[in-house]
Structure 1
């Protein structure tokens, strides 16, 4: 999550820096990734022209100076994944973290050797590894990640940015460090961190270790780590705006950030970054919203899975719909709406095949079962014009949990529906669970 704070801080600082004096010295720092036609043509529409969605990946690369964090990996790795939404009026921005343990549908992607992966369900950060495996590059890793995020959120991703370990440390060091206040001591061998309890300023390896620590602090989950990362990110972005007023300090920060930055070709360069940033410099701190997609442990739906989380519906769908429509969502509002999750395992579903394709209900049922829905199947009495969700009295909330997973489908009450069961009738428009 802090990588997103770094990218946002870069944009905020460029917007207030005057820009021109930076072009010659920093423009060549930024690496570009040519995505070409790897994203395909079946992508979500941008329904809010002027707004921007930037997918930011914290690259877990172990090359060069990063080798101390683990060698021998055969694929590219992503440590953090988020979407930075910049409003069309440039009056607010949202940074939404997607936990790397999120269990999602990963579409077919091109690997580094030109072969293709099969679509399947797994942790969302595997998409970066698939695209970057077997000789792949950042462009391939980015393309598969973009396809996966678009498939599962319905958001059109306009730009991509990747920041690695070294760039993060350089940004923190240029600010003189960031104050953190752990309530208990943190001793984490994997993160190379030994930190005592209490408020203190961290930088360099300590700062990186603090945002990477997971198993040795708090509840040991990725979502718990995200909370600490969000606090760190808020401090980083705020301190960057407040402290980097001299050309020397600003240059040091931006030099570290841009050297570790890889973007899509359209965004690669100080000028396009400056053009995007120019409208952001006046965004107040209370309208920079640091959010996490609502989620809960998949164990609640699939007891054998103790390693992943699933997104909470309908709250996740509402969040992504609001972003697509360029509607502001605050952390307070999202937290309140997500306070009482209704687990998929509590929603009994009947899938009826209303198409001419034999076995369609069984295919849909298998996908739903992966998310813990108890499912039965059957055939609709007649072919359906389109996919629908119906429910009996008293099951409106359960029906919304199911319907919200299928864009464009609205649940409707049906007094004659099977008691206690939500019915999904497949029509010719059904595109599967994403």
Structure 2
């Protein structure tokens, strides 16, 4: 997305310049890998998933060469409003504990649905090096957990990031405290200095030595760095050598869906963005809380905080603007104790009393069981379905039932999430 805005400066250059840069951009069709069970595009606007790949390809093994898989180091959803008057950039913490659906791999196999960090989805789909499958799995995971349809995707790799920074002779950062981060291979004194190469990459990736050691502080630092990078690039628009180096690195780092693969579609997309007032572009992070609150002992991950996360995703799906202040207010408002998630529990096994037993455990966790009963065995597997309007409640229940994948169902009990117990039902957690 950042590169898309900057190509505006190159739009009027010679044909050879335009053709060479456009040819740098790789297209990857996700096609059938997304499946048919996708959220409906109901409210207008455009959603673009931006994936920062932590692939070390092209870095000569000098940075993080011990990493065995490619994961999405950064994951953002950019929503451009249908009116063109505002935009929202939502960052997903990479440690978000979510449901990763079944994904097609490049070797013809399909992964098993399971719960894990959201950044692993890209690695699962791309286990054999297939970028399209990697993107498709990341998209499926975001769509399944956020309930928002993704229209386009852009993948940016590490090599392009360092090339963009170096083409601008570095970017100034001003840490207030010294940074000594062994994993990011970063050693910076306090105060302002210009960073490039591995220092720049380490600065946006450092996490363990700064703040609380989570990904949340790093998200804010990455957003600040991108603002500084774009500001410096803007000041170099009339320096052909710097501009070409920047755009060459930017475009070489990009892989997009076929609809965005080329300078022309990126230019058209950037044209939609350029007139959005700066104060109408909101940079947000999915509201979250430590997973240890639900699963004692897990200090490494976070879960999305309801009802705020659900309100944010609903706004995106309906093309409604949400400001930082509105999201902060929603995040500070817990789910009403008088209105817990309503659940119908059905026993689909041959063991009597399973529904009543589980209903009691769900009640202790704060859910409101509205009915229990029996049901035909669901093909040997438990199911969790929800009617329109209760997707967030189904996700909240699923965090306590590892292995269950919430699914919309027109036939679900009216006004309640429906849990049908099969012989495979895992134990409750938390």
TM-score (norm 2): 0.80
Instruction: Identify the range of structure 1 (238-247 vs 248-257) with the bigger mean alpha-carbon deviation.
Output: 238-247
Aligned pair 1:191/2:191, yes or no? Answer: no
Out of 89, 92, 100, the position equivalent to 2:86 is 92
5+ long unaligned stretches in structure 2:
376-384, 397-405, 410-414, 421-430
Q: CA deviation at 1:195?
A: 0.4
Give, in whole Å, the separation in 2 of the partners of 1:354 and 1:244. Answer: 64
Match of 2:222 in 1: 229
Match of 1:177 in 2: 170
Instruction: Identify the range of structure 1 (263-272 vs 67-76) with the bigger mean alpha-carbon deviation.
Output: 67-76
Give, in whole Å, the separation in 2 of the partners of 1:292 and 1:61. Answer: 24
Out of 9, 26, 30, the position equivalent to 2:25 is 30
Following superposition of structure 1 onto structure 2, how do residues 312-331 of structure 1 map, counting pairs within 5 Å?
A: 312-331=305-324
Aligned pair count reads 391
8 A Cα contact 1:301 1:343, kept in partner? no
Give, in whole Å, the separation in 1 of the partners of 2:417 and 2:143. Answer: 25
Match of 1:119 in 2: 113
Out of 257, 273, 282, the position equivalent to 1:280 is 273
SS of alignment partner, residue 91 of structure 1: coil
Q: CA deviation at 1:74?
A: 4.2
Aligned pair 1:402/2:393, yes or no? Answer: yes
Deviation readout 1:319-359 (Å, 9 max, x if unpaired): 11111122222223222332355699x99767423698989
Q: CA deviation at 1:96?
A: 0.8
SS of alignment partner, residue 146 of structure 1: helix
Aligned pair 1:48/2:39, yes or no? Answer: no
Give, in whole Å, the separation in 2 of the partners of 1:84 and 1:172. Answer: 22
Over 3 Å counting, the alpha-carbon distance change for 1:362 and 1:279 in structure 2 is: farther
Over 3 Å counting, the alpha-carbon distance change for 1:43 and 1:425 in structure 2 is: closer
Q: CA deviation at 1:57?
A: 1.0
What is the aligned-residue RMSD (CA, Å)? 3.6
Over 3 Å counting, the alpha-carbon distance change for 1:350 and 1:274 in structure 2 is: closer
Following superposition of structure 1 onto structure 2, how do residues 104-253 of structure 1 map, counting pairs within 5 Å?
A: 104-133=98-127, 135-253=128-246
SS of alignment partner, residue 46 of structure 1: coil
Q: CA deviation at 1:275?
A: 1.7
Give, in whole Å, the separation in 2 of the partners of 1:173 and 1:284. Answer: 29
Match of 2:424 in 1: none
8 A Cα contact 1:61 1:77, kept in partner? yes
SS of alignment partner, residue 426 of structure 1: strand
Q: CA deviation at 1:217?
A: 1.3
Match of 1:417 in 2: none
Give, in whole Å, the separation in 1 of the partners of 2:320 and 2:354. Answer: 37
8 A Cα contact 1:81 1:99, kept in partner? yes
SS of alignment partner, residue 272 of structure 2: coil
Instruction: Identify the range of structure 1 (54-63 vs 148-157) with the bigger mean alpha-carbon deviation.
Output: 54-63
TM-score (norm 1): 0.79
Match of 1:337 in 2: 330
Over 3 Å counting, the alpha-carbon distance change for 1:342 and 1:173 in structure 2 is: farther
5+ long unaligned stretches in structure 1:
1-6, 391-398, 410-422, 429-434
Match of 1:426 in 2: 418
Give, in whole Å, the separation in 1 of the partners of 2:394 and 2:109. Answer: 35
Deviation readout 1:222-269 (Å, 9 max, x if unpaired): 112112112222222344345424444332221110011111122111
Deviation readout 1:80-134 (Å, 9 max, x if unpaired): 111111122323222111011000011001122211111111100111111011x
8 A Cα contact 2:50 2:78, kept in partner? yes
Following superposition of structure 1 onto structure 2, how do residues 263-412 of structure 1 map, counting pairs within 5 Å?
A: 263-339=256-332, 341=334, 351-353=343-345, 373=365, 379-380=371-372, 402=393
Over 3 Å counting, the alpha-carbon distance change for 1:425 and 1:35 in structure 2 is: closer
SS of alignment partner, residue 273 of structure 2: coil
Q: CA deviation at 1:313?
A: 0.6
Instruction: Identify the range of structure 1 (14-23 vs 112-121) with the bigger mean alpha-carbon deviation.
Output: 14-23
